[in-house]
Amino acid sequence: MSSTVDLKQIGRLIDVSAVRTDVTIDEIDKMVEVAKKFDCICAFAMPSFTDYLIEQLKANEVSNTFVGGVVGFPSGADTTEIKVLAAKQLLEKGCSELDMVVNVGALKSNRDQTFKDDIKAVVEAAGNTPVKTILEISYLTDDEIKRGSTLAVEAGASFVKTGTGWGPKPTTVEVIKLIKSTIGDSAKIKAAGGVRDLDTLLAMVEEGCSRFGIGIRSAISIFEEAYRREGIELTISDENTSETDRY
């Protein structure tokens, strides 16, 4: 499946993350190791650990992996002012991308202007830094996904992202198809939440998804499978990662 993907370069599609409530320093260290080994395009920690993540990437000479920051995570219900402040602080720390949870309640309440203005304020604060808007599709109908995707693009989002990974339902290939049919090439698509095997990732690439937010445990499994298909046996210890994988 998917002749368009070089499995040995699959890290360039993956934002590896450690963004659960119970993430430890050990897990962030493991994320740095994985990011270096597989040349992941971006790495995310919760804001309180972002400085540490940046320091460790530098200390381990991980030069090709950006650091991303999460804004309004995971509920999206912060005030716009707080989101803007968080965005500015994360940029000052050295983040090269921002993943922002949208105001889900505003979208579901048909308060489209409020929803759009919230995104636009963060996009403007970010300047030239890409902003990925997290729709949290677990809580949305298909019509709300389409409307939210359209509004996010109109507000200047660089990516429409499916979820935080904290929601009750996984992202599916059908969701990627729905978003792609709605926004076309006007923004990129990032899948997160439930992408836990290589075949799912490749199927989503075929439908127009160009980035994936994947927690450490699932990322390790995907990398092992990708290399195995290339005839390279690879086993990575994940003893420092917790049982529940999110994002």
* Residue 188 annotated to the active site: no
Whether the Cβ atoms of residue 101 and residue 134 lie closer than 8 Å to each other:
yes
Q: Which residue has the tokens 């690439």?
A: 205
Which residue of the set 30, 36, 120, 161 is catalytic?
161
Cα separation of 176 and 185, whole Å?
Answer: 13
Which residue of the set 99, 120, 132, 245 is catalytic?
99
Q: Which residue has the tokens 């983040």?
A: 95
Cα separation of 18 and 27, whole Å?
Answer: 7
Which residue of the set 83, 116, 190, 245 is catalytic?
190
* Residue 108 annotated to the active site: no
Widest distance between CA atoms in the chain: 52
Residue 94: C-alpha distances to residues 66, 68, 129 (Å): 9, 9, 11
* Residue 88 annotated to the active site: no
Closest CA to 218 of 194, 239, 199, 234: 194
Residue 40: both structure tokens together: 């992941």
DSSP state of 16: E
Residue positions annotated with a catalytic role: 99, 161, 190
